[in-house]
Amino acid sequence: MSVLEEKEYSKNFDLSTWKELLPFVKPFKRQIIFMMVLMFIVAAIDAVSPFLTGWVIDNVIVPGETGKLPYFGIFYGILIIIQALVIWLFIDIAGKIDMGICYEIRKGAFHRIQELSFSYFDKTPTGWLMARLTSDTQKLGDVVAWGIVDLTWGITMMTTMAILMAFTHLKLTLIILSVIPVLFVIAVYFQRKILKRFREVRKVNSKITASFSEGIRGAKTTKTLVREQANDMEFHKLTGSMRRSSVRAAVLSALFLPMVLTLGSIGTALAIGMGGNGVVAGTISFGVLVSFIFCSLQFFDPIMELSRVFADLQYAQASAERVISLIQTEPGIKDPEEIEESYGTFLHPKRENWPAIKGSITFENVSFAYDKGQAVLSNFNLEVSAGETIALVGETGSGKSTIVNLACRFYEPTEGKILIDGVDYRKRSLQWLHSHLGYVLQNPHLFSGTIMDNIRYGRLNATDEEVKEAARLVNAHEFITALSEGYQTDVGEEGAKLSTGEKQLVSFARAILANPMIFVLDEATSSVDTETEFLIQQAINKVLEGRTSFIIAHRLSTIRSADRILVVRNGKIEEGGTHHELLKNRGYYYRLYTNQFMEERESRLLSV
């Protein structure tokens, strides 16, 4: 996936990328136009100001007439009140546009993320997605809103001033402005170079961060391997190159301003030299001379701002590309239109049209491979009748989880089909199936909020009493009520304030509250302590009754209670039957069982 690369920079400015962003900017069309009008005013007042000085010189100082000063004062006062007002307005509105665009893009991207299928998240790191919705989005809002501010202001001010100058004295204007194009080209060139250098700095910087993180997390290992000095040396190399690239970047940007100012002073010198001759010859007034001097000085700000905006835009291009690539990713699994019509969409399901579910599942010649990789399953067949409990055992990578994920339609078969209640599940909507699904994972994931909120996640309209009922059913009630705030206990970020076992019980209650017809326990007991395992085991026996369930497990107690045990090896069912039958076979299951028996007993003996 080329989009995954953190390429920070696109060589060519590409308008079509920015066009894709238009839908997010459109809601602010009127505000943007208003803001541009405001910037016209600001720029115009800025452009006029050197001529105000000129006016004072020609009409007050040179003739020695102070009578006009009060009128000038009033005019000036009005002007700056307008200016202050307009400045307030444009900052406020630009802020609104900036935050608004961020909001819209974030919303759109988040929406899309919710629709993407499991396979997308398999290959996309969380950090990558986070960055898209935070820093990239922020960058885009920034560059659009403030970019428009700076562009409008810069261009308007330069144009207005050039016109005013030209009307005052065309020849002198042309002479002074001859420096501008050169200046502009140099400025853009420099800004680009500077940005590039700073990107290098950021790259080294992220290496330093990684190094710190490793140094801290690996400190214990470092001690045992006596790597302190060696690590120091490696780290010094990094900080050394950080220093070098930072200084290089800083030197370049330190060069920028003096260069522009020096080049700019040529314009001022021209104004004084040429203009001064004109004053002596009587063709130019003092006021005009002074206002031209100020004009020549004032031309730099817009040039610097404009060159910065151009460089920024180019930099933001990469952000735009990444965000757009995310928003435009099509979900791998999606309901076709005719299904959406009768079953409704994610956001507006038509539950009234949904058929009831019994829960029989059939794999018919199913083959499956993750993303063009090696086939995990080929020509796989399996029939599970409604209400049956199936335990899947086998090594990591044998295909157990794949079978379950296919049954849940988190992935779809590459070939063959899966029937639920005798109907290909692709003929029904995703949400129809998922709303009948109970799912408990090895690493239970909770959301911040109270325990009550977390269990209720299983069925949003459940009453408090129903939530407690579910908790009782899975033996979670006891530990919850023992907490000082009971069901209102805050679980912390990702449930960090609870132990793994407690989290597992909560996630179990959450799943059961949904009253699912199909239940999946994916290694649900493997990372909990023996006590919790016992509680969960009890609960499993209670709640799986009458539901079709898949249990992936290696704890014997969990496996043994299943109606049918399937031993999966290399994507095939090697053995299948009840615990008793399989032991009799003295095959793979027999070995697995004896090993596991020893381990469990040993660890029980040792975990006093």
Partner 1 sequence: MGTHVQGPPNLRLVHSSTRLRVISGNIIMKKKNFSVLFTFMRGNRAQYLLSIFAIAISTIISLLNPLVIRYLIDSVIGGEPFEGPAWLISLLEKLGGTSWMLQHIMLGASSLILLTAVSGLFHFLKGKWSAEAAETTAKNIRNRFFAHLQRLPFDYHVKARTGDLIQRATSDIETIRKFLATQFVEIGRTLFMVIMAATIMIRLNVKMGLFSMAVIPFIFTFAYLFFLKVQKTFRASDEAEGRLSTVLQENLTGIRVVKAFGRHRFEIDRFDERNQEFRVLTTRLIRLLAWYWSLSDFMSLMQIGAVLILGGYWAATGVFSMGTMVVFFTYVGRLLWPVRQLGRILTEMGKTFVSLERIQEILNEPEEKDLFSGLHPEITGRIEFDHVSFRYEEGPDILKDVSFTVEAGETIAFLGPTGSGKTSLVHLLPRLYEPTSGEIRIDGIPLGTIEKQWLREKVGIILQEPFLFQKTLKENIALARDGVIEEQIFTAAETAAVHDVILSFERGYDTLIGEGGVTLSGGQKQRVAMARTLMKESPILIFDDSLSAVDTETDAQIRKSLKDRGNKATTFIIAHRTSTLAEADKIIILENGRIVQMGTHEELSRQDGLYRRIWQIQNELETELEEELNPQLQA
339 binds partner 1 (CB under 8 A): no
Closest distance of CB 99 from partner 1, Å: 5
Beta strands in 352-420 (DSSP E): 361-369, 375-384, 389-393, 415-420
Which of 214, 364, 415, 469 touches partner 1 by CB under 8 A?
Answer: 214
Residues 377-416 that bind partner 1 (CB under 8 A): 396, 408, 410
| DSSP-assigned letter for residue 450 | B
Give DSSP secondary structure letters for 234-257: HHHHHHHHHHHHHHHHHHHHHHHH
134 binds partner 1 (CB under 8 A): yes
371 binds partner 1 (CB under 8 A): no
∠ CA 232-236-237, nearest 5°, is 125
Which among 547, 558, 546, 539 is positioned nearest to 518, based on CA atoms? 547
- Residue 318 phi/psi, 5-degree rounding, is -60, -40
CB 194 within 8 A of CB 249: yes
Strand order in the sheet with 361-369: 375-384, 361-369, 415-420, 423-424
| DSSP-assigned letter for residue 135 | I
HSE-CB at 108 with a 13 A cutoff on CA atoms is 20
Closest distance of CB 2 from partner 1, Å: 15
| Residues with Cβ within 8 Å of residue 479, at least 6 apart in sequence | 502, 505
Residues 86-115 that bind partner 1 (CB under 8 A): 87-92, 94-96, 98-100, 102-103, 106-107, 110-111, 113-115
- C-beta of 252 vs 483, nearer to partner 1: 252
Which among 144, 173, 143 is positioned nearest to 158, based on CA atoms? 173
Integer Cα distance of 560 and 579 in angstroms:
6
Closest distance of CB 303 from partner 1, Å: 11
Closest distance of CB 459 from partner 1, Å: 9
Which of 73, 332, 336, 355 touches partner 1 by CB under 8 A?
Answer: 73
Closest distance of CB 17 from partner 1, Å: 21
Which of 7, 9, 29, 66 touches partner 1 by CB under 8 A?
Answer: 66
Residues 245-264 that bind partner 1 (CB under 8 A): 246-247, 250-251, 253-259, 261-262, 264
Which of 69, 163, 170, 423 touches partner 1 by CB under 8 A?
Answer: 69
State the binding string over 217-236 for partner 1 (x if CB under 8 A, else -).
xxxxxxxxxxxx-xxx--xx
- Residue 171 phi/psi, 5-degree rounding, is -65, -45
Closest distance of CB 373 from partner 1, Å: 12
In Å, what is the CA distance from 374 to each residue of 364, 369, 370, 399, 400? 20, 6, 7, 12, 16
Site size toward partner 1, by CB under 8 A: 176
78 binds partner 1 (CB under 8 A): no
Number of residues assigned to the chain: 608
304 binds partner 1 (CB under 8 A): yes
Region near partner 1 per CB under 8 A, out of 292-300, 313-321, 369-377, 414-422 = 292-300
State the binding string over 151-190 for partner 1 (x if CB under 8 A, else -).
--x---x---------------------------------
Closest distance of CB 223 from partner 1, Å: 6
State the binding string over 418-457 for partner 1 (x if CB under 8 A, else -).
------------xx--xx-x-x-x---xxxx--------x
